[in-house]
Amino acid sequence: MTALPIDKIRADFPILQEKIRNKPLVYLDNAATCQKPNAVIDSISHLYRHEYSNVHRGVHTLSVKSTDRYEGAREKVKHFINAASTKEVIFVKGTTEAINLVAQTFGRANIGAGDEILITAMEHHSNIVPWQLLCQQTGAVLKVAPINRHGELIYDEFEKLLNDKTRLVSVVHMSNALGSINPVKQIIDAAHARNIPVLLDGAQAIPHMPVDVQDLDCDFYAFSGHKLYGPSGIGVLYGKQALLEAMPPYQGGGDMIRKVTFEETEYNTLPYKFEAGTPSIADAVGLGAAIDYLSEIGMDNIAAYEAELLAYATEQARRIDGLRIIGEAEHKGAILSFVLDKIHPHDIGTMLDSLGIAVRAGHHCAMPVMDFFAVPATARASFAVYNTKEEVDVLIEGIKSLIEVFG
């Protein structure tokens, strides 16, 4: 395995010391949310204990300190994804709000009746429903590029769907239900050849691999803090500055204004134009701490370690009679979705929980994916940097034991 100080890393996550039903916790639900290291927990606690106040405009000491911490977190995000400027880093509640923001600002300003929005058949509901709403509002048409039985985008079919009516491409970087990693650089280049902007849903990709938005040349990139070992309630929309400058505000209220009269309002500059109201100050600070923590380990190291962990888990799973892996893309992140003959995924989840093993069971907010594979749901084990081969072994033995129980 890639040389990482796993024992030290695991010690940084206090919840991993918990017992579930008198069994050591084996937490394999990281695609839903990751656990938090002490560095994140302590940063939030320190802010509330010693430095908390509302940010911006305050001239007293606590407001200045909180503002410095909040804007410092934005600077950390900028470096983490290699944005060109902090003006391109918008703090939002999470990936879902980020995509809705683009739909209701860029979308309503630039997409009209008969125009087309192109997504893929492996999208999370958060990258489907906002575009359906926009289509209902504008008369635009949602187009869907198909996937194959491995869970991979059929790229030739995707490219055929690009045309003079396409106004936006919005695709997942890494599928939450399948683990498939899309050829996003190729997708962006093809779209840009037709002057079509591209949004990437990076919720799953961002904790598992290095992301460089300038190298990708994506127009928008959305991700959530809680999947990046940070707090919930905070996320990021990256957007190219020229696009964000041209987009109307998403919400109105404090901090997104420069001047208000009853006759008209002058909006604030970027990034504040899209950050109405008091923001999630402590959560942003926690996200900055998570970025520091991951940067110290190294995203390349995390990607290599998790790839080896997934390969080991996949090899073990394939040896189990009656287990079928859902999603076997050649390029895949640390997700193992599966079904068992004659055992519903919800029963799998419940039985594994009795052994202290946390997996997700359901449609994973990707019902069209379940329909494509003709399954009601899957059980999903998803891995993070603090997971181990020994935990994979516990999972595999747990699956074998429940097969025996169900006969």
pLDDT one-digit tens code per residue, 102-133? 999 999 999 999 999 999 999 999 999 999 99
If asked whether residues 24 and 76 sit together in one domain, one would say no
Tell me, what DSSP letter sits at residue 141? Answer: E
If asked whether residues 13 and 119 sit together in one domain, one would say no
If asked whether residues 261 and 310 sit together in one domain, one would say no
User: Residue 297 in contact with residue 9, Cβ under 8 Å?
Assistant: yes
Query: From residue 355, how far is each of 16, 313, 372, 380, 398 by CA, in Å?
Result: 15, 18, 31, 16, 7
User: Residue 226 in contact with residue 283, Cβ under 8 Å?
Assistant: no
Give domain status of residue 256, yes or no: yes
Query: CA–CA separation, 222 vs 89, rounded Å?
Result: 10
Task: Output the pTM of the full model.
Answer: 0.97
What does 250-298 look like in DSSP terms, one character per residue? SS-STTSEEEE-SS-EEEPPTTGGG--SS--HHHHHHHHHHHHHHHHH-
Q: How many domains does the chain have?
A: 2
Query: From residue 293, how far is each of 33, 204, 247, 289, 365 by CA, in Å?
Result: 17, 18, 34, 6, 29
Q: What is the mean pLDDT of residues 135-140?
A: 98
Q: Any idea what the CATH number is for the domain that residue 236 is in?
A: 3.40.640.10
How would residue 261 be classed by pLDDT, with cut points 50, 70 and 90? confident
How would residue 211 be classed by pLDDT, with cut points 50, 70 and 90? very high
Strand partners, 116: 141, 166
What's at 370, amino acid-wise? M
Q: What is the mean pLDDT of residues 359-378?
A: 94
User: Residue 157 in contact with residue 311, Cβ under 8 Å?
Assistant: no
Q: Edge-to-edge strands of the sheet including 335-340?
A: 323-325, 335-340, 378-382, 360-362
Give domain status of residue 281, yes or no: yes
If asked whether residues 292 and 302 sit together in one domain, one would say no
Query: Residue 21 pLDDT more than 90?
Result: yes
If asked whether residues 292 and 307 sit together in one domain, one would say no
Query: Residue 255 pLDDT more than 90?
Result: no
Q: What is the mean pLDDT of residues 355-377?
A: 95
The residue among 263, 278, 296 that closes a domain is 296
Give domain status of residue 94, yes or no: yes
If asked whether residues 105 and 142 sit together in one domain, one would say yes
How would residue 3 be classed by pLDDT, with cut points 50, 70 and 90? confident
Secondary structure of residue 165 in the 3-state scheme: coil
If asked whether residues 138 and 213 sit together in one domain, one would say yes
If asked whether residues 78 and 152 sit together in one domain, one would say yes
Q: What is the mean pLDDT of residues 235-254?
A: 94
Query: From residue 67, how far is each of 64, 226, 232, 285, 397 by CA, in Å?
Result: 5, 22, 20, 10, 50
Give domain status of residue 36, yes or no: no
pLDDT digits (tens, 9 = 90+) for 43-75: 999 999 999 999 998 889 999 999 999 999 999
Q: Any idea what the CATH number is for the domain that residue 367 is in?
A: 3.90.1150.10
The residue among 246, 265, 296 that closes a domain is 296
Residue 1 is predicted with a pLDDT of 67
If asked whether residues 137 and 286 sit together in one domain, one would say yes
Look at 393 and 254; give whichever has higher pLDDT.
393
Give domain status of residue 35, yes or no: no
Q: What amino acid positions are annotated as catalytic residues?
A: 365
Q: Cα angle at 271 between 55 and 82, to 5 degrees?
A: 110
How would residue 260 be classed by pLDDT, with cut points 50, 70 and 90? confident
If asked whether residues 67 and 176 sit together in one domain, one would say yes
Residue 253 is predicted with a pLDDT of 84
- Structure tokens belonging to residue 338: 């599966």
Query: Residue 2 pLDDT more than 80?
Result: no
Helix pair 389-406, 299-318: axis angle to 10 deg: 30
Residue 256 is predicted with a pLDDT of 85
Q: Which domain holds residue 265?
A: 41-296
Query: CA–CA separation, 200 vs 50, rounded Å?
Result: 37
Query: Residue 185 pLDDT more than 80?
Result: yes
What percentage of the chain reaches a pLDDT higher than 70? 100
Give domain status of residue 55, yes or no: yes
Neighbours of 292 (CB within 10 A): 15
Query: CA–CA separation, 326 vs 395, rounded Å?
Result: 17
Burial class (CB in 10 A: 0-12, 13-18, 19+), 367: middle
If asked whether residues 234 and 125 sit together in one domain, one would say yes
The residue among 268, 296, 324 that closes a domain is 296
Q: What is the mean pLDDT of residues 381-400?
A: 98
Work out whether the CA dihedral 166, 168, 173, 179 comes out positive or negative: negative
Give domain status of residue 257, yes or no: yes
Q: What is the mean pLDDT of residues 338-357?
A: 95
Mean pLDDT of the chain: 96
Give domain status of residue 62, yes or no: yes
pLDDT digits (tens, 9 = 90+) for 286-316: 999 999 999 999 999 999 999 999 999 999 9
If asked whether residues 328 and 386 sit together in one domain, one would say yes
What's at 136, amino acid-wise? Q
